[in-house]
């Protein structure tokens, strides 16, 4: 863009308003604050999502270093977005959540005085509020809006008033946002970057450059300060950013999901498309709306990706209210002329109506939740006490069987694949693999971190194992190298229903592997693995995206390939493949169908024999041929007597 394209006629200064107009805006701000007061502490839970929330709190409570000991899409400040009553962390959560909302409320309050008229400020406040009010399912608990909206709000103020000092709180919040949830941080950082480029395009002087360097100092200073307080030593900050980027790099090609009848992806795409069209038109016409579209386009794209990749209603409703709120940015910039203001107000009001259509709520819920949360803050001790009472009951309900708990004692434990809540409910000594929920370890580098942990000196003494995977994946072929190391280094020593207790061996079951054959294979064609001959056969398969696939992964998503497993007995099974990790190898000779098969595999060396496998590409976006390599381990070794399990409870149930 050129300096002419981003120029504005004059700064938008707050004008002298009549007493009635001032009172109206103050009332709107008070109402906005009261409706968007967040929940301060929530109760613990069990299951997939509650377990990663538990993991976030345990990582902070036990001083794990992000980027080295702990890796997840939420960063060191992520616990504050999902607050729980755990030690003193809930007080930190309250402080952080209150700080975020104070920044948000301040930016909205100041922008209200840049919006002319009476109807337009009402639409502006209501559109901003949809990201903080009570919606069905309480999706606003995660404060996505309170992270992104104050950043873009202060950047818009800096542009409207021609006062770069307004960008200082935006830079401070953007630096902290990268430590909350990585994609939210990227959205905030991109908005800050787009605004900075716009400033340089208008005035590439040394003075502007120096101001931008000051903002960069605030941005990185905020990031470093919060990381030292909650993330770990400074030496792990760069590994944290690298690992977070690694998680983001494969999200669009592995975590895809479609919920039948859910229009969320289409709606989000339309919203992004309208934003891009608005940016193009405003640039062409050198409109005063240009800065608003420039600032909002990157966050809108990040939120759109969050809606379309994992296309389920719950994921859509996490990001959709924030996409709606972003459109309110055009209203302060549209207040120069009556015609522009009226048109913009009607458009934003229509978007707001669609926001409530796709994220429904009730007047009673909207009106009462903020007041209830305010009372909860005023009576914080009582709120914390009630949460502790609930959590104590949950701990009693989810206690491990006495035999398992006695065997574990004070030894270190990990949970596979994700039920971290067992660590909290049983007060166990946690030694997690870095990517502590397996479905997130969907690249070879992330998988290798888990494998290194299980084979290294810091490996846990025990693993609580359940044979589950998301999205119809096979549990043995998710973070497959990690799973292989678990098979090499652990024995199955106890069982409670679907849960197994694995105990670390003195020596691995085998060392090294013999390469058997390597060849090219195409999709749909069957492959018969070589005979195991008393060991295990593993298969490496290296898939690659086509050029079209790479482009689609950037701007939309790509469905992963499937693996069809033909067993010697029973029906074949189809599984979604964690295809990047397949390049590191996965067990193919004897894949357990269920937890009973896992027990046989660990105790007898064989589960359900595989006759052949074939691969299928429903998207058609991977290269049609790929390289496969078969390897065979040595024969399993008997465990030395030091870790013999004689006299322990039988697990072959």
pLDDT tens per residue across span 250-284: 999 999 988 887 777 889 999 999 999 999 999 99
Whether residue 450 is found in the same domain as residue 318: no
Q: Whole-angstrom Cα distance, residue 433 to residue 454? A: 7
Whether residue 477 is found in the same domain as residue 599: yes
Angle between the N-to-C axes of helices 144-160 and 313-326, in degrees from 0 to 180, rounded to the nearest 10: 20
Q: What is the predicted pLDDT for the residue at 647? A: 34
Which has the minimum average pLDDT: 429-433, 534-538, 557-561, 644-648?
644-648
Q: 359, 131 in Cβ contact below 8 A?
A: no
Q: What is the predicted pLDDT for the residue at 215? A: 96
Q: What is the pLDDT of residues 165-223, one digit of tens each?
A: 999 999 999 999 999 999 999 999 999 999 999 999 989 999 999 999 999 999 999 99
Name the most confidently modeled range: 5-14, 136-145, 174-183: 174-183
Q: 97, 459 in Cβ contact below 8 A?
A: no
Residues facing 628 on adjacent strands: 519, 541
Please indicate, yes or no, if residue 324 is contained in any of the structural domains. yes
Whether residue 140 is found in the same domain as residue 224: yes
212: exposed, middle or buried (C-beta count within 10 Å: 0-12, 13-18, 19+)?
buried
Question: What are φ and ψ of residue 190, in 5° steps?
Answer: -65, -40
Q: 561, 579 in Cβ contact below 8 A?
A: yes
Q: What is the predicted pLDDT for the residue at 499? A: 95
Q: What is the predicted pLDDT for the residue at 381? A: 86
- Measured from the Cβ of residue 471, the count of other Cβ atoms closer than 10 Å reads 15
Please indicate, yes or no, if residue 387 is contained in any of the structural domains. no
Average predicted confidence (pLDDT) for the chain? 90
Please indicate, yes or no, if residue 3 is contained in any of the structural domains. no
Q: What is the predicted pLDDT for the residue at 576? A: 96
Q: 235, 248 in Cβ contact below 8 A?
A: no
For residue 490, give the nearest of 412, 577, 406, 422 by alpha carbon. Answer: 412
Whether residue 327 is found in the same domain as residue 410: no
Please indicate, yes or no, if residue 559 is contained in any of the structural domains. yes
The strand order across the sheet containing 490-496 reads 429-430, 412-416, 462-466, 499-504, 490-496
Whether residue 457 is found in the same domain as residue 352: no
Q: What is the pLDDT of residues 519-536, one digit of tens each?
A: 999 999 999 999 988 899
Domain count, the chain: 2
Q: Which has more confidence, 407 or 143?
A: 407
Q: Decide: helix, strand or coil at residue 559.
A: coil
- The pLDDT of 542-560, averaged and rounded, is 96
| Full 3-state SS string of 516-539 | EEEEEEECCCEECCCCCCCCCEEE
Whether residue 357 is found in the same domain as residue 404: no
For residue 11, give the nearest of 160, 136, 172 by alpha carbon. Answer: 160
Please, what is the Cα angle at 515 between 536 and 451, to 5 degrees? 60
Among residues 330, 351, 370, which one ends one of the domains? 370
Q: Which has more confidence, 164 or 652?
A: 164
Say which residue the tokens 């888990």 belong to. 450
Q: Whole-angstrom Cα distance, residue 15 to residue 115? A: 10
Q: Which has more confidence, 338 or 358?
A: 338
- Measured from the Cβ of residue 329, the count of other Cβ atoms closer than 10 Å reads 26
Among residues 323, 354, 370, which one ends one of the domains? 370
Whether residue 97 is found in the same domain as residue 139: yes
Q: 9, 285 in Cβ contact below 8 A?
A: no
Structural domain of 524:
398-643
- The pLDDT of 597-624, averaged and rounded, is 95
- Residue 246, token pair as written in the block: 């690694």
- Measured from the Cβ of residue 82, the count of other Cβ atoms closer than 10 Å reads 20
Whether residue 456 is found in the same domain as residue 561: yes
Give the list of residues 6+ apart from residue 86 with CB closer than 8 angstroms, or none: 44, 57, 58, 61, 424
Among residues 327, 350, 370, which one ends one of the domains? 370
Tally of helices (H runs) and strands (E runs) in the chain: 23, 15
* DSSP category for residue 638: P
Name the most confidently modeled range: 50-59, 349-358, 481-490: 481-490
Q: 13, 160 in Cβ contact below 8 A?
A: no
Whether residue 485 is found in the same domain as residue 595: yes
Whether residue 360 is found in the same domain as residue 434: no
Residue 358 scores a pLDDT above 80: no
Q: Decide: helix, strand or coil at residue 293.
A: helix
- The pLDDT of 548-563, averaged and rounded, is 95
Residue 366 scores a pLDDT above 90: no
Say which residue the tokens 């950037």 belong to. 554
Residue 369 scores a pLDDT above 70: yes
Is residue 302 very low, low, confident or very high in pLDDT (cuts 50, 70, 90)? Answer: very high
Residue 160 Rama label (left phi>0; alpha psi -120 to 50; beta) = alpha
Residue 638 scores a pLDDT above 70: no
Please indicate, yes or no, if residue 15 is contained in any of the structural domains. no
Which has the minimum average pLDDT: 14-23, 29-38, 418-427, 598-607?
14-23
Residues in the chain: 653
Residue 10 scores a pLDDT above 90: no
How far does CA 349 lie from the centroid of its chain?
30
Whether residue 179 is found in the same domain as residue 45: yes
Please indicate, yes or no, if residue 652 is contained in any of the structural domains. no
Q: 557, 629 in Cβ contact below 8 A?
A: no
Can you list the positions of beta strands (E) in 386-522? 412-416, 429-430, 462-466, 490-496, 499-504, 513-522
Could you tell me what percent of the chain has a pLDDT over 70? Answer: 94
Residue 640 scores a pLDDT above 70: no
Q: What is the predicted pLDDT for the residue at 140? A: 55
- Measured from the Cβ of residue 370, the count of other Cβ atoms closer than 10 Å reads 22
- Measured from the Cβ of residue 483, the count of other Cβ atoms closer than 10 Å reads 24
Q: What is the predicted pLDDT for the residue at 637? A: 65
Name the most confidently modeled range: 141-145, 380-384, 505-509: 505-509
Q: What is the predicted pLDDT for the residue at 137? A: 63
Is residue 636 very low, low, confident or very high in pLDDT (cuts 50, 70, 90)? Answer: low
DSSP alpha helices (H): ranges in 309-378?
Answer: 313-326, 330-333, 338-358, 363-378
Q: What is the predicted pLDDT for the residue at 641? A: 38
What b-and-e string marks burial along 419-455, b requiring 16 or more CB atoms within 10 Å of the CB? bbbbbbbbebebbbbbbbbbbbbbbbbbbbbbbbbbb
- Residue 481, token pair as written in the block: 């190298």
Please indicate, yes or no, if residue 14 is contained in any of the structural domains. no
DSSP element (H, E) containing 642: none
Residue 135 scores a pLDDT above 60: yes
Please indicate, yes or no, if residue 505 is contained in any of the structural domains. yes
Angle between the N-to-C axes of helices 167-177 and 206-230, in degrees from 0 to 180, rounded to the nearest 10: 40
Whether residue 450 is found in the same domain as residue 563: yes
Q: What is the pLDDT of residues 228-252, one digit of tens each?
A: 999 999 999 999 999 999 999 999 9
- The pLDDT of 423-447, averaged and rounded, is 95
């Amino acid at each position: 863009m050129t300096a002419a394209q981003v120029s504005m006629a004059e700064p938008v200064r707050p004008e002298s308003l009549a007493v009635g107009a001032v009172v109206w805006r103050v009332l709107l701000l008070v109402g906005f604050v009261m409706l968007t007061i967040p929940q301060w502490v929530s109760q613990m839970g069990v299951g997939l999502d509650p377990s990663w929330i538990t993991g976030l709190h345990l990582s902070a409570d036990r001083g794990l270093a992000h980027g080295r000991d702990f890796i997840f899409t939420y960063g060191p400040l992520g616990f504050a977005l999902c607050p729980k009553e755990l030690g003193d962390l809930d007080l930190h959560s309250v402080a952080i959540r209150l700080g975020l909302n104070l920044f948000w409320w301040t930016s909205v309050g100041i922008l209200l005085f840049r919006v002319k008229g009476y109807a337009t400020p009402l639409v502006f406040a209501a559109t901003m509020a949809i990201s903080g009010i009570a919606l069905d399912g309480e999706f606003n608990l995660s404060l996505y809006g309170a992270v992104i909206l104050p950043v873009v709000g202060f950047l818009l103020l800096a542009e409207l008033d021609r006062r770069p000092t307004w960008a200082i709180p935006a830079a401070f919040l953007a630096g902290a946002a990268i430590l909350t949830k990585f994609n939210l941080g990227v959205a905030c950082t991109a908005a800050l970057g787009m605004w900075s480029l716009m400033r340089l395009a208008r005035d590439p002087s040394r003075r502007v450059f120096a101001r931008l360097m000051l903002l960069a100092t605030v941005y990185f200073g905020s990031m470093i300060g919060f990381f030292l307080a909650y993330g770990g030593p400074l030496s792990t900050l760069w590994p944290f950013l690298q690992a977070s980027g690694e998680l983001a790099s494969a999200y669009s090609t592995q975590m895809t999901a479609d919920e039948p009848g859910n229009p969320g992806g289409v709606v989000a795409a339309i919203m992004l498309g309208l934003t891009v069209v608005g940016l193009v038109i405003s640039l062409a016409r050198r409109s005063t709306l240009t800065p608003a579209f420039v600032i909002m386009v990157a966050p809108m794209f990040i939120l759109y990706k969050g809606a379309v990749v994992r296309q389920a209603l719950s994921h859509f409703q996490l990001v959709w209210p924030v996409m709606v709120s972003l459109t309110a940015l055009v209203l302060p910039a549209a207040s120069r002329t009556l015609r522009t203001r009226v048109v913009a107000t009607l458009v934003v009001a229509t978007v707001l109506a669609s926001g409530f259509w796709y994220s429904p709520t009730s007047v009673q819920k909207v009106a009462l939740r903020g007041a209830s949360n305010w009372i909860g803050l005023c009576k914080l001790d009582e709120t914390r006490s009630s949460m502790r009472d609930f959590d104590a009951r949950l701990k009693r309900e989810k206690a491990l069987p006495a035999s398992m708990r006695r065997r574990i004692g004070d030894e270190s434990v990990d949970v596979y694949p994700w039920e971290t809540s067992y660590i909290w409910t049983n007060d166990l000594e946690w030694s997690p693999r870095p990517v502590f929920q397996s479905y997130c370890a969907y690249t070879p580098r992330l998988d290798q971190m888990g494998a290194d942990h299980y084979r290294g000196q810091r490996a846990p003494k025990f693993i609580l194992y359940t044979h589950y995977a998301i999205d119809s994946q096979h549990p043995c072929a998710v973070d497959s190298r990690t799973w292989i190391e678990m098979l090499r280094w652990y024995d199955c020593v106890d069982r409670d229903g679907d849960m197994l207790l694995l105990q670390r061996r003195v020596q691995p079951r085998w060392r090294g592997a013999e390469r058997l054959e390597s060849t090219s294979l195409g999709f749909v064609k069957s492959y018969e693995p070589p005979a195991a001959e008393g060991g295990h056969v593993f298969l490496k398969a290296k898939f690659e995206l086509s050029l079209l696939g790479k482009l689609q992964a950037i701007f939309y998503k790509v469905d992963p390939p499937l693996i069809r497993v033909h067993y010697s007995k029973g029906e074949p099974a189809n599984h979604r493949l964690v295809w990047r990790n397949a390049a590191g190898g996965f067990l193919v000779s004897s894949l357990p169908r269920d937890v009973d098969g896992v027990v046989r595999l660990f105790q007898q060396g064989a589960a359900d024999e595989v006759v052949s496998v074939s691969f299928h590409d429903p998207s058609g976006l991977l290269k049609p041929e790929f390289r496969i390599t078969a390897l065979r381990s040595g024969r399993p070794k008997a465990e030395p007597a030091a870790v013999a399990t004689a006299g322990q409870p039988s697990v072959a149930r």
